[in-house]
Structure 1
């Protein structure tokens, strides 16, 4: 059996912080989904060809852009990967992270709101390549953004598509009780450590490095991207 090609993908983790605690936005994939059916996941998906042409209100900050260039699997640029995460968030939840801009070059949800996606709010947190033997394989890049960067009501999912069901904010210390893919559990542990490193009214810190589970070769490999 021929292994499927590895595609670049992006997931966008929204973190909502208050003095009472932190929460993360998650939804459940459909039972008939080809990849991770019935599992709770973060909004995300594969990079599309158009993501590389998406205008960004602000680019990814450093060192996040530089870290995305380490050992790439495909040809997607850091800007395309970030744009994919912002687009998938908009499509799957109806929530937007953007800044006012003229023109219609942005994906439909942003253009309709008069916005361009804003990658300047994103923190690169984690990377993992799907192991062999799966029906689909992704080089998945996980970003986190503070819910305070959203434009509009963080509880309004009225414009979400039907790809994720049961969209809701989950207390960060309870999220690992959901039915999760293994890699999502690992990402939540990294997210918890990052959230604990700053008060709710402080900006999220830049991680010292990005954990990378590399499954491209004959044996799994774990490294830290500095």
Structure 2
């Protein structure tokens, strides 16, 4: 199948936060020099949603408040595959497992075989939707990226063992929040880091989710509050 390189692809990014109460650190890696999108930049684990992500069962979905906000100004059916994409990309790029011990309800697809072999079923309950941004026009790749904050204590594997990771990200490392800005970061990553720094001492979902909506005709900064069935809250 040929991928339309000009299309805006849905994507999921995981901001893994460790030691938030003592010395907060985040997990980042460096993209390759020949990558078409953000070469050499230090980024969070993440990537585009695959067509098959919609068919992967979750032991637990994302919290309702996150799903509601993901559905605002978006296709409601995307909430599930975005959660799955987070877990898949985290496993592929870092070798870390987010899931619950259990047996799969289906035969795991080829790209999930190694994950399933760990004895876990993917679970999105610990993911917290905190940021959304669409890549501005004119870039070689464009993504509608959703950023999810994840407390490292929710990971089911050794936080320092990246031996099962693919080679898409090099120099995987835990970086203290104050040090992170000294790395070669994409602009949007710097913005997200500022948002994360403001949430270190508060594990609750944010009051709303910032959304950089970059379109062909205009760029908007919005706040996603989530859909509600209560007219009094609309």
Could you tell me the TM-score, scaled by structure 1's length? 0.92
Paired residues, number: 218
CA change 1:213–1:19 in 2 (3 A) is closer
CA distance in structure 2 between the aligned counterparts of 1:18 and 1:208, rounded to whole angstroms: 20
Deviation at 1:18, TM superposition (A): 5.2
The match for 1:29 is 31
The match for 2:213 is 214
Deviation at 1:172, TM superposition (A): 1.2
User: In the TM superposition, what are the counterparts of 1:27-106 in structure 2 within 5 Å?
Assistant: 27-72=29-74, 77-103=78-104, 104-105=107-108
CA distance in structure 2 between the aligned counterparts of 1:224 and 1:71, rounded to whole angstroms: 11
CA change 1:206–1:34 in 2 (3 A) is same
CA distance in structure 2 between the aligned counterparts of 1:5 and 1:213, rounded to whole angstroms: 17
Could you tell me the TM-score, scaled by structure 2's length? 0.89
- Tell whether the 8 Å contact from 1:14 to 1:25 is kept in structure 2 after alignment: yes
2:17 aligned to 15, 18, 27, which one?
15
CA distance in structure 2 between the aligned counterparts of 1:110 and 1:143, rounded to whole angstroms: 20
Q: Name the SS for the 1:194 alignment partner.
A: coil
The match for 1:178 is 183
CA distance in structure 2 between the aligned counterparts of 1:207 and 1:75, rounded to whole angstroms: 20
Deviation at 1:76, TM superposition (A): 5.2
User: In the TM superposition, what are the counterparts of 1:193-204 in structure 2 within 5 Å?
Assistant: 193-197=198-202, 204=203
Q: Name the SS for the 2:72 alignment partner.
A: coil
Query: Hey, which bits of structure 1, 4+ residues long, moved more than 3 A?
Result: none
CA RMSD of aligned residues (A): 1.6
The match for 1:124 is 129
CA change 1:157–1:3 in 2 (3 A) is closer
Deviation at 1:179, TM superposition (A): 0.3
